[in-house]
Structure 1
Amino acid sequence: MPTMTVKRRARIAAALTGAVAAVALSFGGPAYAENDPTVAIDSNNSDSIESPAACDGHSDDFRFRFYYHSNYQGAWVNVGHPVYDLTSLDFGVGHTAPPLRFCPGTGDGSGQQAANNSASVYNWYDGYCANVYYSAGYRGPVDHFGPSSGGNLSGTLNNNNRSINFTHC
């Protein structure tokens, strides 16, 4: 029986190492568990927006942030799902919540509603774009923010923001 050459054994070992790594990656996934912000919440999931995690410093479920002032200053609140109308969070028949508000104790503007009061935003999502709209229902002028980006809202949307939606990008 002929023996394998050293080069051939090295090529087989490299191929096996690559195959094992590919299988390991298919089961491992990324080191964090970023949620899918394109999924709208339903009436049984009101905890999504009312959750205290919306005021955590960083969360895998709430990776978009509205700021009260320009340049990421002042109070803030995190969002992790499309919001049809920031002034009237609706979770189905018989369950509506008050407007989305900036988190308590996060700076100037805390406790104020985020709708029509935001001047800057940041999108921490890696694979999703955020779209901030002038009007409720994802209508009117829009500012787009790519993954891991943010900035001041445009002159049209500065303190005139009513809804947010997310897309794959």
Structure 2
Amino acid sequence: MNLKKTLAVTATAIGLGMSIITPAHASTGEENQESPDACMKSQSASVFKYAIYFNSNYGGAYRNVGYPVYDFADERVGGSPQAGTQPLLFCHGGSGNNQGIKNNAASVRNKHSTYYAVTYYNSGYKGSSDWATPNSSRNLSQAYNQNASFNWSSL
């Protein structure tokens, strides 16, 4: 990530009162969309530390996510506008397979040992949210079937 982009991300996070993680957590959308880790059948083998599920109690289809997602309905590869939207989809069979994640999730797993995983009601890391502590799993309550974005937090 270049210095100008790093400073812009930091300024935005500070302005929003968010804890900045590290530039390594920034994404162009490509990692979440195209990485083999996103749809690995073995979640424990995935390097991605956040998993989001279609059903409560970690059931149905899921997707591993490694980087913040500004809008689950439009995770753009390269980060720039392109024709149409690029939604993140659930994978691996079960109910919800190949459906969009936005407004369809019921539970999450945070496999990170340090950071909280925050699932937001609105796009852009806004609105009500559900916080999953490090190394925990939970059913969504504030963002149950109304989830639109995800980010990491050090608080």
Query: Structure 1 CA distance, aligned partners of 2:39 and 2:26?
Result: 19
1:101 to 70, 75, 89: 89
Q: Structure 1 vs Structure 2: percent identity of aligned residues?
A: 41
Query: Structure 2 CA distance, aligned partners of 1:160 and 1:94?
Result: 24
Residue matched to 1:115:
102
1:71 positional shift: 0.6
RMSD: 2.1
Structure 1, 137-146 or 53-62: larger mean CA deviation: 53-62
**1:127 matched to 2:118:** no
1:52 positional shift: 2.2
Residue matched to 2:48:
62
Residue matched to 2:35:
51
Query: Mind listing any 5+ residue stretches in structure 1 that lack a counterpart?
Result: 1-35
Change (3 A) 1:71 1:116: same
Pair member with larger Rg: 1
Contact 2:31 2:67 survives alignment (8 Å): no
Query: Mind listing any 5+ residue stretches in structure 2 that lack a counterpart?
Result: 1-21
User: TM-score, normalised on structure 1?
Assistant: 0.70
1:3-44 deviation per Cα after TM superposition (whole angstroms, max 9, x unaligned): xxxxxxxxxxxxxxxxxxxxxxxxxxxxxxxxx7971113xx
SS at match of 1:112: coil
Contact 1:37 1:80 survives alignment (8 Å): no
